[in-house]
Each structure stands twice: as C-alpha cells, then as structure tokens.
Amino acid sequence: MHTQRSTGSARSARSVRALAGVLLAASLALAGCSGASDSAGDAKSAAGAEARQDSGAGATADKGKAAPRTADLAPSAIIRTASLTVEVKDVPKALSAARSAAEGVGGFVGDESTTRDADGHENTRVVLRVPTEKYDEVLTSLQGTGRLVDRTAKAVDVTDRVVDVESRIRSQRASVNRIRALMDRAAKLSDVVTLEGELSSRQADLEALLARRASLKDRTDLATITLSLSETPVKKAAHDDTPGIVDALAGGWHVFVTILRWIVLALGAALPFAGFAALLAVVWLRVVRPRLPRRAGHAPATTAVGPLPSARPAPETAREADRD
C-alpha cells in the first residue's frame, strides 16, 4: 500500500513538470511575438514621445516666460528709431556731413534718394544705421546741420522676445539631436523615412528661429535714423520787398512771353488741321471741279410790253349823223 502511494506521487510530479515545460514554451513564444511588434512601432512611438517632450518643454518655456526670474533675463534689448527733417542751405554738403557722422561711429548709410522740386530746390532722404550706444550722439550732430523742422524718436523694448527666441532655439536644437540619435538606432527603412521627415520639419523650425534671432539682433545692435534734407529758399532783402519799375517791366515781359508762347502753341496745334483744309481746297479746285458737268446757259430775258395803241378818232360825218 505504501508502494502504491509512492507510485502515485511520482506520476503527479512528472505531470507537474510537463505542465511547467508547456507553460514556459508558450510564454517564450508570446515574448517573441510581442518583441517583434514592439520593434515595428519603435520609431513611431519614439517620435511621438519626442513630440510630447518638445510640447512639454515649450509649455515650460511659456510658463517661464510668463514669470521670468531676474537672474535669467538677458541684458535689455531695445530697438531705437528716429526721423528728422532739417532745412539746410546746401544739401550735398549736409549729406556729406551726415555720412561722415554715421561712418565715424562705425555705422553705414542705407537707402538714399534725391529729388528736385519745380523751383529747383533739392530734397534728399537718407537712412543711417548707427550703433545703439552712439545713437544720441549722432542724433544731436544731425540736428545741428540746419534748421530742425520735425523730429520723431521711438524706443521699443524687445527683451522678452529675445529671451523667448533664445529658449526656443535651445529646445529645438535638443529636439533635432534626439531625432538624429533615433535615426542612428533605426533598423528598418520605414522607420528611417519617418524619422527623416520629422527631422526635416524640426530643422526648418530651427532655421526660422535663427533668422528671427538675427533680425532682432540687427535691429537692437544698430539704431535706424531717417534723415530728410531740404534746401531753404533764398529770401529777398528788405529794400527789395516793394516792386519798382524794373519789376513792372520784368512782369510785363513775362506776361508777353507767356501770351506769345500760348499763341504759338495754339497755332502749332491748329497747323495740321489748316494744312489738311488747304489740301482739300487744292484737290477740289484742281481735280474735282474741272471734271464736274457744266450747266446749260439761261435764255435771254424778254423785253417789257410797250404801251397799248390808242383808238383812232371817228370821222366827222359819222359824228354829225350821230347828232341828228
């Protein structure tokens, strides 16, 4: 009886071992299948994780921008612009002085345009770019070149924008580096194609941020001054204010010349029409009229009727007979 119990326990132990082996094989097979499916979606899940991480970093940057600490702020970034209108007696001389003032402090001349009005007065508009630290010095120098007519100055603080762009550039560079690391570990062609598209998009965003930073740096490092120069009309002396005989003769001659000029212009405008009318008259007299049929002559008019003849007197005998 003891032997029967030992045999039953041995059989149960072998069955347990067999069952354990089957379960182990099944678990290994399932692990292999899950590993294959996980490797297929590794690149996409990694890219999604990168996007979520970047969005989280952007949100953190926005929170930091909303309440920045004093220690994290960059030096003040200010965009300075000014516009001046100055009347001078000699525009080329004043323009040369403005160029020297800008180039003397390390700046340069941007756009420049020169016009001349109906009275012959010269007007010049020039844009000067000067270092921000020399802005006030150059502005004072330009105001002294003539009579100041108009002045407008503006200063815009863009420190927050500069800090925000710098933070976004750092985050975008880290994101690009992470995508490149994932590409180095990718084993399938589909994963490489997906990661390359994501890398292109993030590099484009990074280049846009770099261009924005360069624009802000240019406008904060160099101030912009727009200078308009115009010639001052020459004024007459006090004793010339009252017109004299010479002024009257000059005015009369000017009116005569003006009227004569308008007459000549009118004749010049009418000359083509007069020539055409003369040509039509010559054609009519020399060509058309001789070929027209002549009309028959009229009969001579009859003479007026003369006086009627008077009745002859009756003989005397007839008269006497009538009396009887």
- For residue 18, the model assigns a pLDDT of 54
Would you say 231 and 123 are in contact if contact means Cβ atoms under 8 Å apart?
yes
**pTM recorded for the entire structure:** 0.49
Confidence of residue 223 (pLDDT cuts 50, 70, 90): very high
Taking the C-alpha atoms of residue 39 and residue 58, their distance in angstroms, rounded to an integer, is 29
Phi and psi at residue 114, to the nearest 5°: -130, 135
Q: Tell me which of 214 and 37 has the higher pLDDT.
A: 214
Average of pLDDT values for 247-263?
A: 86
Average of pLDDT values for 220-236?
A: 81
* Distance, C-alpha 145 to centroid of its chain: 32
Q: Say yes or no to pLDDT of 38 above 60.
A: no
Q: Say yes or no to pLDDT of 320 above 60.
A: no
Q: pLDDT averaged over the chain?
A: 75
Alpha helices for 186-324 (secondary structure H): 189-221, 245-283, 316-323
Q: Is 223 exposed, middle or buried (0-12, 13-18, 19+ CB in 10 A)?
A: buried
**pLDDT per residue over 298-309, tens digit each?**
555 555 455 555
Average of pLDDT values for 22-49?
A: 47
Phi and psi at residue 200, to the nearest 5°: -60, -45
Average of pLDDT values for 172-194?
A: 89
Q: Tell me which of 36 and 179 has the higher pLDDT.
A: 179
Taking the C-alpha atoms of residue 146 and residue 115, their distance in angstroms, rounded to an integer, is 19
Structural domains of the chain, ranges and CATH numbers in brackets = 78-158+222-231 (3.30.70)
Q: Say yes or no to pLDDT of 273 above 60.
A: yes
Q: Which of 55-64, 173-182, 184-193, 307-316 has the highest mean pLDDT?
A: 173-182
Sheet holding 222-231, edge to edge: 108-116, 122-131, 222-231, 78-88, 147-157
Q: Which of 4-8, 34-38, 81-85, 284-288 has the highest mean pLDDT?
A: 81-85
Q: What is the DSSP letter of 291?
A: G
Q: Which amino acid is at 94?
A: A
Would you say 103 and 246 are in contact if contact means Cβ atoms under 8 Å apart?
no
Q: Tell me which of 194 and 20 has the higher pLDDT.
A: 194
Would you tell me the crossing angle of helices 42-66 and 189-221 to the nearest 10 degrees? 20
Taking the C-alpha atoms of residue 8 and residue 15, their distance in angstroms, rounded to an integer, is 11
Taking the C-alpha atoms of residue 119 and residue 110, their distance in angstroms, rounded to an integer, is 28
